[in-house]
Amino acid sequence: MSYPDTEPLCSAEWLRNHLDRFQSNTPDYRLVEVDMDPEVYDEWHIPGAVQINWEEDIIDGLGGNVIDPTEAESLFGELGITQDTTIVVYGDQANWFAGHAYWVLKYYQHEDVKILDGGRRYWRIQDYVQTQSVPEYPSQEYVIEGTNESIRGYKDDILDTLNEERPIIDVRNPQEYRGEKPPAEIPNTTDREGHIPTADNVPWGKAVNADGTFKPESALRDIYGNHIDAENSAVAYCRIGERSSVTWFVLSELLGADAVNYDGSWTEWAADEEAPVETKTPPVAEEGDD
């Protein structure tokens, strides 16, 4: 693959050959698994990996509620992480929730963090080593000195720029985008359904291959090229801010574009009765259509 900056991605092959670094008690390297279902970690995980429970550890409620700095400091420190640790995050569902953990770490200005390309899916397809052993590492002091607001979207700012041709990407599935009730596996967090006006629907999963790895740069530019604007930062959003973090990762970290993750997403937007909502009804089939 050829990206402007390959550092945000860690290949499974490289990790397999350097697992010893991630099993040391020293805080230089740390491997972190983040899943939609935290119990899959117990079934198997990569040797040396510690776990973040996404719903309990990394957010404080759904939709725009990142854990506060004090909680984040405690979480990362207990995992044996310092500000200088090289962190590789990975998980199930093509790194769906691991992508959000990456974004949170970047929001709290952790410099050296990467996503394992392909996550659990690719690792298992390759039949690389797995374990059920849970490691324990010495706790460390982790100090957060600020936030990177340039990667976080806010409702009021998006409202103010709706008429400025700012690229907005709704990364949810078409059913949600059209304004229908979400499928059962998606939390129904609002009474209003639809999408932010001017937003295009580009489901987050378009960025990954069947094995969970990210598509090549050329393919990603075909998918997202029309949503990259030199003068306006692109906005990615979903329902509660985790799926959109993967699209943000592609835009910002792999394609080098100016982009924000609106982590308040549809949950926050729809709760504001003053925020405009659009819906799209599927075309009615004419008589004789199959």
Catalytic residues: 238
Can you tell me the distance from the alpha carbon of 41 to that of 38, in angstroms, rounded to the nearest whole number? 6
> Can you read off the two tokens belonging to residue 30?
């740390």
Backbone phi, then psi, for 170, in 5-degree steps?
A: -90, 110
Determine contact, residues 228/234, Cβ cutoff 8 Å: yes
Determine contact, residues 90/119, Cβ cutoff 8 Å: yes
Q: What Å distances lie between residue 113 and 34, 43, 92, 93, CA to CA?
A: 14, 25, 18, 19
Determine contact, residues 222/216, Cβ cutoff 8 Å: no
Can you tell me the distance from the alpha carbon of 107 to that of 284, in angstroms, rounded to the nearest whole number? 44
Pairing of strands 86-90, 50-53: unpaired
| Sign of the dihedral defined by the CA atoms of residues 160, 230, 104, 212, in that order | positive
Type of residue found at 189: T
Type of residue found at 194: G
Can you tell me the distance from the alpha carbon of 227 to that of 90, in angstroms, rounded to the nearest whole number? 26
CB atoms within 10 A of CB 9: 20
